[in-house]
Amino acid sequence: MKRMAVAIAAMSVLIVALACSNQGKLEGEWHRVNGNETLSFFGSGKSGTVVRVAAGLFGPTQEEGTFSWLDDTSIRLEFPGLLGPEVAISNVAFSGDRLTLKPLQGQAAEYQRSK
């Protein structure tokens, strides 16, 4: 009986931890607030694909890269570049339908979930 109670308690903790995870909140399309950039995240779990669409000199540009969670509050974004990959490690915060990406070096960018 005691083992069953311990097992139920452990499963409850696991379910709460998964429900509170930021990793499941990232998937979808996000438009930059006060900017001309859209990030679309595909994949569930610890890694997946990210598509960035931004205003370019000759019209919109689209790049496909990858993302991977380093922990529940940090993410690694990687896009191909002419001189090698462009890599950014950012802290991630969610507030309702808002996503904030704060690179380790640089200014935070805020995104609104696309409806």
**Number of separate helices (H) and strands (E) present in the chain:** 1, 8
Beta carbons of 113 and 106 less than 8 angstroms apart? no
More confident residue, 22 or 28: 28
**pTM tops 0.75:** yes
Q: How far is CA 104 from the centre of its chain?
A: 15
Beta carbons of 103 and 110 less than 8 angstroms apart? no
**34 pLDDT more than 70:** yes
Q: How many domains does the chain have?
A: 1
pLDDT at 22: 84
Q: How far apart are the two ends of the chain, measured CA to CA in Å?
A: 48
**15 pLDDT more than 50:** no
* pLDDT tens sequence across 82-97: 899 999 999 999 999 9
**19 pLDDT more than 80:** no
* pLDDT tens sequence across 100-109: 999 998 999 9
What's the CATH number where 62 sits? 2.40.128.20
pLDDT at 23: 86
pLDDT at 47: 94
Among 42-46, 79-83, 100-104, which is the least confidently predicted range? Answer: 42-46
Q: Which domain holds residue 69?
A: 2-113
Q: How many residues are recorded in the chain?
A: 115
**30 pLDDT more than 80:** yes
